[in-house]
Structure 1
Amino acid sequence: MTAPLTPPPPPHEPSPHEPSSHDAWQAPGAAYAAPAEPRYGHGGPGMKTELLEGTVIMVAVALAGALLGVLWWWLAPHVPLVGDVDEQGSWVVYLKDTEGEQAVGVDGTLTLLALAFGFVSALAVFLWRRRGGVPLVVGLAVGGVLASLLAWRVGTWLGPTSDVIAHAKAVGKGVTFSAPLKLGAKGALLAWSFAGLVVHLGLTALFGPRDPEPAYGAAVPGDGYGTPAQ
């Protein structure tokens, strides 16, 4: 005599209170996934503020070049010139001291002053905005170049006239007079920006704000699916 056949049990229907397989697969990731923080795009308020600050820094640094030009005119050595009349009766001008190094000193004075101004400007920008940012660095670099160009123009404008023949005629034959300020090494125009970038990046690396470290035992997602990084 055979046992009666019993029908198979009906398929188990998940209870609304039981987590589904999809939820169970995502559950581990929920413990590790951090809430997404809102980030500003390139046109957001944060970027606009940084661009405005970078522009302010560029203008302020560029205007400081006028002070650099005054100091360059005041501290740069004078190159002595002497005027004379040749056999044809034409005025000629030549260096009084052919072995002098005053011309090199003119370039060196501007370079050293620009390096000092670059250090001070970078320190001021860092103390004003410790968090840094690309617009601030770009504003500091571009402002340094503009400031050096302005200092070059201000120094040559304040210095002796560039018309050395007229100057020689005015002072007389055989009288020593100063040559106009001339910048022979054009690389000095980059000294301000170079010093500013190096000092600012160094201060930011040493004393800038750090990102908060994750808490002990907290896992960081290794992929975009909630899987904790090993």
Structure 2
Amino acid sequence: MVTQRRLVAAAVVVGAMALVGALVGVLWWTLAPRPDVTVTSEGATVPYPVSETTFASEGYFALMATAVGLVSGYTVYALQYRLAATFRGADVRLFFLFCLVVGAFLGSVVAWRVGVLLDAEGFQRARDAAQPGDVITAGLRLHALSALLTWPFVGVLQYAVFDAVSMWRRDLPYMRCAGGQPDSADPGSARAAGPDGDVPR
């Protein structure tokens, strides 16, 4: 039963992030500026004239990935905090962290591909209709694929911040499910606690 619940939780987290990734891709396609490119005699394009918009679309992608990383890191930690009781007091923080990383990376890939595919048809039509030497607007591209790691990286940092706060407050989810006491597997904590569960100062 616990394994089934983990599978359901993983599917929900990863699936939700893939859906968010699709929405981010549409938003990226809507807002990101496109640079101008010049059509060559072979029908290809070269990045000329050079302008500050050449890499602006990647900056927009990174900013959006940062924003959803902050939100998803908080959301996934809050979810595992509330669902800890359904896992019979098991420490599932690492499990949900793994789901966060997988889901965030998948969401980044989905956002990238959705944005690029939405622009592909219009860019292809403009390139086919252009003559050599014509300047047209380029389609969305992600030159630095390392930007795909922004969402999972920021999400893990946000998740770690909330986990650190819970550790400092001594209200980790599996401790809370056990009645607010430290896990019995931590004998040092058990010895340090008084008869009423308080840690002497």
Q: Calculate the TM-score normalised by the size of structure 1.
A: 0.63
Task: Identify unmatched segments of 5+ residues in structure 2.
Answer: 85-91, 176-180, 183-189, 197-201
Q: Which of residues 84, 105, 122 in structure 1 aligns to 2:73?
A: 122
Task: Identify unmatched segments of 5+ residues in structure 1.
Answer: 1-44, 219-230
1:137 maps onto 2:97 in alignment: yes
Report the alpha carbon displacement of residue 81 of structure 1 after superposing the two structures with TM: 1.9
Trace 1:118-197 onto structure 2 (pairs within 5 A): 118-130=69-81, 131=84, 133-161=93-121, 167-172=126-131, 175-197=134-156
Distance 1:79 1:161, change over 3 A: farther
Aligned to 1:95: 47
Runs of 4+ in 1 over 4 A off after TM superposition: 171-175
Deviation per residue, 1:208-229 (Å, 9 max, x gap): 62442555259xxxxxxxxxxx
Distance in 2, matches of 1:144 and 1:52, equals 17
Amino acid at match of 1:103: T
Report the alpha carbon displacement of residue 169 of structure 1 after superposing the two structures with TM: 4.1
Distance in 1, matches of 2:4 and 2:43, equals 60
Q: Which of residues 61, 64, 68 in structure 1 aligns to 2:24?
A: 68
Amino acid at match of 1:216: G
Distance in 2, matches of 1:146 and 1:156, equals 15
Report the alpha carbon displacement of residue 147 of structure 1 after superposing the two structures with TM: 0.7
Amino acid at match of 1:58: V
- Other structure's SS at 1:201 match: helix
1:104 maps onto 2:55 in alignment: yes
C-alpha contact 2:123 2:137 (8 A) present in aligned 1: no
Deviation per residue, 1:66-105 (Å, 9 max, x gap): 01111111222211123365xxxx556433422x132321
Amino acid at match of 2:46: Y
Distance 1:136 1:92, change over 3 A: closer
C-alpha contact 1:83 1:94 (8 A) present in aligned 2: yes
The percentage of counterpart residues that share the same residue type is: 30
Distance in 2, matches of 1:207 and 1:121, equals 18
Deviation per residue, 1:88-134 (Å, 9 max, x gap): xx556433422x13232122211111111111111112222225522
- Other structure's SS at 1:180 match: coil
Q: Calculate the TM-score normalised by the size of structure 2.
A: 0.71
Report the alpha carbon displacement of residue 171 of structure 1 after superposing the two structures with TM: 4.5
Aligned to 2:165: 206
Alpha-carbon RMSD across the aligned residues, in angstroms, is 2.6
Aligned to 1:8: none
C-alpha contact 1:122 1:199 (8 A) present in aligned 2: yes
Distance 1:92 1:187, change over 3 A: closer
Distance in 2, matches of 1:116 and 1:171, equals 38
- Other structure's SS at 1:182 match: coil
Distance in 2, matches of 1:63 and 1:191, equals 17
- Other structure's SS at 2:55 match: helix
C-alpha contact 1:65 1:148 (8 A) present in aligned 2: yes
